[in-house]
Amino acid sequence: VFFSILLSEVKIGYLNADLILLELDEVRQVQITLEKEQRKIESDYQNLEFQLDSLFKSYEQTQMLMSEERRTKEEEKIRNKQAELQRFQMEQVGPQGKIYQIQEQLMAPIYKKIDDAIQKIGRQEGYDYIFNVVSGGIVYALPQNDVTEKVINELDKIDIDSNPENE
């Protein structure tokens, strides 16, 4: 009975962030911009691949006629082009690559707009918590329900209590 009384005083809502993102025109514009950038990157990558392939084919066709010194230089060119191709791939589409930086830059104001709307609805409609069903995370919570400082203080007490110097 006590638990049901406690729950009746807590107002919880949820949202589907993926659905919200699908509904926003700004997100579609970001996707178009990213697709254009992706096509440009793919074209540049294919160009580098073509250059590497040309170097390799040229080397294969003429390696028997090359001096040892020339063969070594050509092999070094091929290794350098392979490294350039890998570097390009990491810089453009790697975890910290250009395409992700552009996406973060373009999406930041959209995420802020969504968060502002969530915060406004949470305050105006008296929600204690709003969850995102996609991630399971809390996207809105009343500040008075934040126990972070209490946990930190408790951990500090535990550290002090368990410190052998205090015995």
Q: How far apart are CA 79 and CA 72, in angstroms?
A: 10
Give phi and psi for 10, each to the nearest 5: -100, 125
Q: Which residues pair with 141 in a beta bridge?
A: 129
Q: How far apart are CA 24 and CA 34, in angstroms?
A: 16
Q: With a threshold of 0.95, does the pTM exceed it?
A: no
User: What are 75-124's pLDDT values in tens digits?
Assistant: 999 999 999 999 999 999 888 999 999 999 999 999 999 999 999 999 99
3-state SS assignment for residue 6: helix
* pLDDT confidence tier of residue 59, bands split at 50, 70 and 90: very high
Task: Give the pair of three-digit tokens for residue 18.
Answer: 């993926």
